[in-house]
Structure 1
Amino acid sequence: MARRIKREFPGITAYFDRHRKRRYRFRKKGFSTEIHGEYGSSEFRQNYERALSGFQSQEIGSPATKRGTVNALAVSYYKSPEFVSLKDSTKLTYRREIERLREDHGHRLVIQMKRQHVIKLLEPLTDRPSARNNRLRMLKMLLNHSVDIGWTTANPTSAIKKMRTNAHGFHTWAEDELQKFFVHHKAGSVAHTAVTLMLYTACARSDVVKLGWQNLKGGRLQYRRQKTEGVSSVLIDIPVHPELRKVIDQLPTDKLTFLETRGRRSRTANGLGTAMRKWCDDAGLPNCAAHGLRKACATRLAEAGATEREIMAWTGHTSPTMVQVYAGKARRGLLADHGFEKLIQNEQGSKIDEPNKKGSTK
């Protein structure tokens, strides 16, 4: 979980990247930029001073933001109804990528941006298709906004295609992996509780960190999905699995949330994600992550013969498209089994009919 450093560098946040390398970022009032160099080094101090200057000159509404630049376009987009209506968690995600663009290309004029320039911006991420696609999505939104406010007449990203990514997404936990995790993390540990909650509810990280006794209604668990909150407000109303009930019944009844920290604070989704990464690594499961438990729950339901609509009632999806991705492999296996059973029945029926036909000939 990101740790706020309260020393001589206000606004600095330390975090670990996907390679487990410690990095630093300056954040203040929506402004965000990477700080390179070892903490406290001369390079670090120089970059920190540059970040402070950038914040002061690029603060929303600042007259120092030059009109027509990527900087000014980002400021305008942050004020747009499209951005203002987003959930706070989504705003943070969008800002993170937009601020990266501002850091390197904020001074450039939007009207001069052509298709070849966009492709050039995407080139450094070619080895990371998902990151490239995310940057392309942010550029499309920004440049669509540019068209909307009359700065440009066309969006140069319109003809640029996304890169193919892994269609299966996050790895789905297998049964032997679940067993291995529970052998390493015993009942009563936060790790064991967290995985049990997600496995038997199909909860996303952003939802499971908010679950508590208030969500239990008799033998059922009810909550509204954060991802759809304020849009379709999907209500999840599912029965409590016996294995989940065993774990919940061991938790203190004065807990505000089931996964609260030692300081009795609710965990953040990102904090849980970071903890899950460590728990999985400790258990020797480098391919497993929190989101794979959501898929594992959907897979179990599919293998049990649940329909797409029944699975959607657990996952909260409003379209069967993602459910087909989540449980497609299990569904194909189940359908193959059903087809095989019909094949065997048909062959056995043919063998029974064959002697009858010979007897009728005589």
Structure 2
Amino acid sequence: MAHRIKREFPGITAYFDRHQKRRYRFRKKGFSTEIHGEYGSDDFCRNYERAVRGYRSQEIGAPATKRGTINALIVSYYKSPEFISLKDSTKSTYRREIERLREEHGHRVVKQMKRQHVIKLLESFTDRPSARNNRLRMLRMLMNHSVEIGWTTSNPTTGIKKMRTNANGFHTWTEGELKRFFEYYKAGSVAHTAVMLMLHTACARSDVVKLGWQNLKGGRLQYQRQKTEGVSTVLIDIPLHPELREVLDRLPRDKLTFLETRSGQSRSANGLGTAMRKWCNDAGLSKCAAHGLRKACATRLAEAGATEREIMAWTGHTSPTMVQVYAGKARRGLLADHGFEKLLKNEQGSKFDEPKTKGSTK
């Protein structure tokens, strides 16, 4: 049951999640965001101040907006239940693209937006398919919101197709690249620990930075995926790989998380991503990134003969579609090998079944 905390943090509401863990949220006039950290801690205070600044900047910007413009539509969308219910990390991602759109086209009148205008707004991204698709996605969400609040009767982005992009997505680390990385970063380094964790757990960056000794239960690693938290319950419960166990056993037991910063703070997902980019570049692995390790783990499982459902138990996917993307090549290769074995077996059997030719002797 939620209740308001009447102390030095106005606007803070405390509540218990489904695991009976106490959490905090800042709410004020439609603005809402999660406040992470123990109540009153330095981390909590920093997050609270950031939330207050976010609320004030929104309130300051709202009166200055011209009614009926994309700028005003964005202000309305930020207050909508759809946006408020998003995770903070997702909000940050959306805001980056939406604010670019606001800066370039915030003055445009929403009612005047037609299909040809949307296409015009996407023209400058033609040579960058992913960027174009992101812009189209944000426009689509904003115009859907416009329909919902009665500003327009139809969405001009309907029927505009996304551009085709690289279907393979992030590069999957090869065994040779893993060997090179581990030759460059020896056991005991944060870089080595981070890669071993992601490689042997299929963890995403947002999950791996939160892992600690509390997630180890009798030789197994258990955690709930952050991406699905609040939407659905996806509990990962996987055995601990012996090589990963060796790495973790070298870490102090008083660490809050396995990948703490030098100052003893939990590392952020973006911070890990930045560090991974530097580690990979320094090791001469410019194609490699953190997400490719998640795919490498899925690929290894596929090559070992794991089924799609078994791989999903590691990655936390609720549909086999993404598993096919992550480990599709390995699965196809494995199936090809199995098919080839059946072909050879059939051909060998056919030789023994051939009818004897005329004049043959016993």
TM-score range, shorter chain: 0.7 to 0.9
Change over 3 Å in CA distance of 1:358–1:78 after alignment to 2: farther
**Equivalent in the alignment of 1:171:** 171
1:117 aligns with 2:139: no
* CA displacement, residues 38-91 of structure 1 (integer Å, 9 cap, x when unaligned): xxxxxxxxxxxxxxxxx97x6467322211011110011111111111111111
CA contact (8 A) 1:171 1:289 kept: yes
CA contact (8 A) 1:211 1:258 kept: yes
| Cα distance in structure 2, aligned partners of 1:361 and 1:159 | 74
Change over 3 Å in CA distance of 1:59–1:120 after alignment to 2: farther
Q: Report deviation, 1:355.
A: 6.9
| Cα distance in structure 1, aligned partners of 2:187 and 2:175 | 17
Q: Report deviation, 1:209.
A: 0.3
Which SS does the other structure have where 1:354 is aligned? coil
Change over 3 Å in CA distance of 1:60–1:357 after alignment to 2: farther
1:289 aligns with 2:289: yes
Q: Report deviation, 1:120.
A: 1.5
Q: Report deviation, 1:125.
A: 1.4
Q: Which runs of 5+ in 1 are unaligned?
A: 1-26, 32-54
Give matches, 1:34-183, under 5 Å.
59=59, 62-183=62-183
Amino acid at match of 1:254: D
**Equivalent in the alignment of 1:22:** none
Change over 3 Å in CA distance of 1:93–1:161 after alignment to 2: same
Q: Which runs of 5+ in 2 are unaligned?
A: 1-50
Amino acid at match of 1:62: A
Q: So what's the TM-score if we normalise by structure 2?
A: 0.83
* CA displacement, residues 164-209 of structure 1 (integer Å, 9 cap, x when unaligned): 0000100001111100110011111100000000000000000000
Change over 3 Å in CA distance of 1:271–1:357 after alignment to 2: farther
Q: Alignment length, in residue pairs?
A: 312
| Cα distance in structure 2, aligned partners of 1:360 and 1:205 | 70
Change over 3 Å in CA distance of 1:332–1:68 after alignment to 2: same
Change over 3 Å in CA distance of 1:29–1:123 after alignment to 2: farther
| Cα distance in structure 2, aligned partners of 1:359 and 1:343 | 31
Identity of aligned residues (%): 84
Q: Report deviation, 1:218.
A: 1.0
Change over 3 Å in CA distance of 1:140–1:207 after alignment to 2: same
CA contact (8 A) 1:30 1:95 kept: no
Change over 3 Å in CA distance of 1:177–1:147 after alignment to 2: same
Q: Report deviation, 1:356.
A: 6.0
| Cα distance in structure 2, aligned partners of 1:219 and 1:62 | 53
Which SS does the other structure have where 1:62 is aligned? helix
**Equivalent in the alignment of 1:252:** 252
**Equivalent in the alignment of 1:352:** 352
| Cα distance in structure 1, aligned partners of 2:340 and 2:129 | 39
| Cα distance in structure 2, aligned partners of 1:358 and 1:60 | 99
Which SS does the other structure have where 2:353 is aligned? helix
CA contact (8 A) 1:129 1:163 kept: yes
**Equivalent in the alignment of 2:273:** 273
RMSD: 1.9
| Cα distance in structure 2, aligned partners of 1:316 and 1:324 | 13
